[in-house]
Amino acid sequence: MQRVIDLTESADLLRRDPHPVYARLRDQGPVHRVRLATPGGEWETWLVVGYAEARAALADHRLAKDIAKAGGVPMDEQLIGKYLLVADPPQHTRLRGLVARAFTMRRVEQLRPRIRQITGGLLDGMLPHGRADLIDSLAYPLPITVICELLGVPEMDRAEFREISTEVVAPTDADTEYAAIVRLAEYLTGLIEDKRRAGPTDDLLSDLIRTTDEDGDRLSARELRGMAFLLLVAGHETTVNLIGNGVLALLTHPDQLAALRADMTLLGAAVEETLRWEGPVENATYRYAAEPLEIAGTDIAQGDDVLIGLTAAQRDGARYADPDRFDIRRDTRGHLAFGHGIHYCLGAPLARLEARIAIGTLLERAPGLALDGEPGEWLPGVLMRGVRSLPVRW
């Protein structure tokens, strides 16, 4: 049995700047048995930190997403229902097929004018003040507004929802995480019932309620709630961090910011380099060994859980030269920010579109954009990578 590397003593550093910790681990090998500090207490797991090994593991069918294959039941599945991140084929294939019918590239592209309109309105309200918290003023309200309109979620208490959602993906402790999931489950149950009673409308949630495949298959009530949970939470949390991390990276690398301002055709590349250099998801959600397997010469026992380090893999010098350098002209092809394989992020096109519009419009309208103090604390936990606040001025 491989020795356990205790990372609980590095918990603060992992939160603030995990890259040196991951670099030391990569120097020792691509796969490690580690002990982490989690909201529920200390936890031992396998952590994959090498790029090649992470990419292969993301597509390895022996690493299941359904914890039942390891003898457990996830809390969120019990309370919310089955959804893509906790399902394997053939169930995953069926669920994704039903969702993909409504969540199409055409629907995303149709959102472009509305995303521009929302961004413009947010900047109209922000720019006259001369300074702001970019997370509160742009990075959060843009994607939450877009995903709520896309799903057909009525105007809600955005501050309350932000608190609930953040607690689900970056919990401070096990009790508050449980309470947040319960509150979200209750909200979604009521929302879906209201939708059913109101009849069909032109939004994604209504599409999911009535969508069927060729065999007449349809999402069950629990599957529908699980899908709404995934799209609503994952559909905005990751984009909040992508926008925030992208602006922070540019403002702390003035040469790259100047290069982008001189040639805005580099905007797409700047977003891709942000995804590689400081992507919004630090580790993919847990996978479970459905059978004994080996990763880079390391034996993984059946039932063991495995964390695939996206942040760690994307700073692997074996894949990207000078990986700690933020370079918007870099060839970022093959980055793992949206995953790889059958669980590749369904919302990747929407996240990219929102980030390009948000960052591009911000730079055009705020030519003197600069940091206005230190960024807020980084989110807790091992899933998300982003700051709670980003003070800027212009």
The angle, 0 to 180 degrees and rounded to 10, between the axes of the packed helices 221-251 and 348-365 is: 30
Buried b (16+ CB within 10 A) or exposed e, 95-118: bbebbeebbeeeebeebeeebeeb
**329 has pLDDT over 90:** yes
Instruction: Please write the tens of the pLDDT for every residue from 40-95.
Output: 788 899 999 999 999 999 999 999 999 887 777 666 677 888 888 889 999 999 88
**pLDDT for residue 75:** 64
Which residues are registered as beta bridge partners of 5? 34
Per the prediction, the chain carries an average pLDDT of 91
Tally of domains within the chain: 1
DSSP state of 140: T
Tokens of residue 279, six digits = 């992507």
**Range with the poorest average pLDDT among 129-138, 201-210, 352-361:** 201-210
Range of the domain at 20: 4-393
**CATH label of the domain that carries residue 203:** 1.10.630.10
Hey, which residues does 46 pair with through a beta bridge?
33, 306
CB count within 10 Å of CB 370 equals: 12
Instruction: Tell me what pLDDT residue 128 has.
Output: 97
What pLDDT, on a 0 to 100 scale, did the predictor assign at position 165? 83
